[in-house]
Amino acid sequence: MLNREWVERTEAFLKEKMDGGFLASRPEEKNYRIEHSYRVANIGREIARREGFDETEMVIACLLHDVSYCEDFGGNGYGDHGRRSAAIARPFLTALGMAADRVCDVCYGIAIHVDDKADFPGERTAFALSVSDADNIDRFDAYRIHEALQKDGFLTKNVTEKREYVDKRLKRLRELLEWPTATETAATLWKERLSFYIGFYEKLASQLECSTRVLD
């Protein structure tokens, strides 16, 4: 069961932070970051429900995992954004009334989700690692296929370049199938997403194969 009051307060906090600072003049990026945070929260909740974690704590951790995008990244800003998100989240979680040990676990999960490093002591619990798992699983959905093809200029490539692009993607996707996760639930969700991606690119490869010649 979700503590709806805590979740609603977290949603309001996230949106308030995203409305200011670096993202104030970047509405499209702000909207995307909020939408991504919700998707990660819903994935995290599914992991929590199946694994017996506290669903409210996981949803809150996932909602706030990228809250530092409200800041203007500089230097190693992207690499540090997990640790900065944890620093921003901690006083909010304390004010929310979350127990100190749970604040630590939630913040540790947020801090390590980018590069597996935190700037304070913590334990690599299955709960904490699941924040990263939920974030990674969201990297492979229908929206991201469109985003990647657009970003990589797929439509501007010739057929040979398209086939090379698709072959490279398929090779990498098949390698990622065995990516380690903290729980069996995350492993199942991960493989489901990767299989969807592989199926898409296999169909695209097949379509490109018959785009330049009559097949034997």
pLDDT tens digits for range 27-85 = 888 999 999 999 999 999 999 999 999 999 999 999 999 999 888 765 555 678 999 99
118, 138, 158 — which closes off a domain?
Answer: 138
Max CA distance (Å), the chain? 69
Lowest mean pLDDT across 2-6, 15-19, 94-98, 209-213: 209-213
> Are 129 and 147 found together in one domain?
no
138, 163, 193 — which closes off a domain?
Answer: 138
Residues 124-136, mean pLDDT to the nearest whole number: 97
Residue 69 DSSP label: G
> Are 87 and 194 found together in one domain?
no
> Are 152 and 125 found together in one domain?
no
Tokens, residue 86: 């944890």
Residue whose tokens read 């991201």: 144
Residues 6-23, mean pLDDT to the nearest whole number: 91
Length of the chain, please?
216
Greater model confidence, 211 or 182:
182
> Are 122 and 151 found together in one domain?
no
pLDDT tens digits for range 92-108 = 999 999 999 999 999 99
> Are 99 and 20 found together in one domain?
yes
> Are 30 and 87 found together in one domain?
yes
**Position 216 in a domain:** no
> Are 133 and 147 found together in one domain?
no
> Are 119 and 205 found together in one domain?
no
> Are 157 and 58 found together in one domain?
no
Q: Quote helix, strand, coil % in the chain, to nearest 5.
A: 75, 0, 25
Tokens, residue 157: 């490539």
Residue 22's Cβ-count burial label (10 Å; 0-12, 13-18, 19+) is middle
| Crossing angle between the packed helical segments 77-96 and 100-111, to the nearest 10 degrees | 160
> Are 103 and 132 found together in one domain?
yes
Structural domain span for residue 202: 142-209
Give the pLDDT of residue 73: 65
Whether the CB-CB separation of 70 and 161 falls below 8 Å is answered with: no
Residue whose tokens read 């989700």: 113
87, 107, 138 — which closes off a domain?
Answer: 138
Give the pLDDT of residue 163: 96
The pLDDT mean for the chain works out to 93
Instruction: Express as a percent the part of the chain with pLDDT over 70.
Output: 97
Residue 46's Cβ-count burial label (10 Å; 0-12, 13-18, 19+) is middle
Residues 156-170, mean pLDDT to the nearest whole number: 97
> Are 131 and 203 found together in one domain?
no
> Are 194 and 164 found together in one domain?
yes
- Give the number of domains in the chain: 2
The CATH number that applies at residue 37 is: 1.10.3210.10
**Position 65 in a domain:** yes
pLDDT(215) > 70: yes
pLDDT(213) > 90: no
**Position 215 in a domain:** no
